[in-house]
Amino acid sequence: MEPVNTAVSAESDAADADSGTGEAPAAVTLGTIQLAVEELWPESLAEDWDEVGLVAGHPNAEVTRILFAVDPTTAVIEEAIDFGAELLITHHPLLLKGVTSVAANTAKGKAVHRLIESGTALMTVHTNGDSAVGGVSDVLADALGLQNVAPLTPAANGLPEEGIGRVGELDEVLTLGDFAARVFGILPSVAGGVRVSGDRDGLVRRVAVCGGAGDSLFGQVRASNADVYLTADLRHHPASEAREAAVNDRPYLIDVSHFASEWLWLPAAAEALGNVLADQGHDVEIRVSTTNSDPWDFILTPG
Tell me the binding residues. Answer: 91-92, 130, 258, 262
Distance of CA 280 to the CA centre of its chain: 25
> Which residues have CB under 8 Å from 199's CB, separation 6+?
176, 249, 252
| Order of strands, sheet of 87-90, starting from the edge strand that comes earlier in the sequence | 7-9, 285-288, 65-69, 87-90, 121-124, 53-56
Output the CA angle 264-69-102, nearest 5 degrees: 145
Q: What is the DSSP string of 256-297?
A: E-HHHHHHTHHHHHHHHHHHHHHHTT---EEEE------S--
> Which residues have CB under 8 Å from 239's CB, separation 6+?
197, 215, 253, 255
Between the alpha carbon of residue 129 and those of residues 64, 99, 162, 295, the distances in Å are 23, 24, 10, 22
Binding-site residue numbers for a divalent metal cation are: 91-92, 130, 258, 262
Cα separation of 47 and 52, whole Å?
9
> Which residues have CB under 8 Å from 35's CB, separation 6+?
none
